Amino acid sequence: MDYKVILSDLAKRQLDDILFYIYATLNNEVAAARVLEDAENTVQKLAQVGSSLKICEEPEPAEYGYQKMHFLLHRYLMLYTINGTNIHVDRIYHELEDYKNLPDWSPCIRLTHCLRELRQLRYRSTACSYSPASNSQCSSCSHSTFSGFCIYGFT
């Protein structure tokens, strides 16, 4: 059965950020084009095999019924849920990213809001001033912190 694959706004932004990083920061247009093509091919494959993949083994994503599909050629993955004949891709991560320990695994509303703020911080060129001594909140963007850095206010 073929499903209709729907990427959330958050997943689209995450993919956009990945492609922008490869294209602009790494200055590699060819690699960015290949990752985009791989993402498109992975979405097509997901439409065909999405229901056959297992629920995530990690407790936090599994609690919300997330399933995981790795990109076909690159080290990225999509976390998704199935609702009827639709597959909803909520998040896209690099395999080495510590996505399993994100502070909020509820549906993407809070994270989407924080990502909007992150974009505003980037455009204002305001660096996050998180200090490991405070160990709880970033002093410039007031976001919660974990693992020794502010995940929302980095530049």
CB 118 within 8 A of CB 155: no
Which residues have a Cβ under 8 Å from the Cβ of 57 and sit 6 or more positions away?
Answer: none
* Full-model pTM: 0.66
Q: How far is CA 42 from its chain centroid?
A: 15
Report helix, strand or coil for 121. Answer: helix
| Rounded Cα–Cα distance for residues 138 and 136 (Å) | 7
Instruction: Tell me which architecture the domain covering 4-101 has in CATH.
Output: 2-Layer Sandwich (3.30)
- What are the boundaries of each domain within the chain? 4-101, 109-150
| Rounded Cα–Cα distance for residues 8 and 120 (Å) | 20
pLDDT tens string, the chain, 155 residues long: the values are 799 999 999 999 999 999 999 999 999 999 999 999 999 999 999 999 999 998 998 888 888 889 999 999 999 999 999 999 999 999 999 999 888 777 665 544 334 444 444 444 444 334 444 444 444 444 444 444 433 344 443 32
Residues of the chain by 3-state class (helix, strand, coil), percent to 5: 40, 20, 35
Report helix, strand or coil for 65. Answer: coil
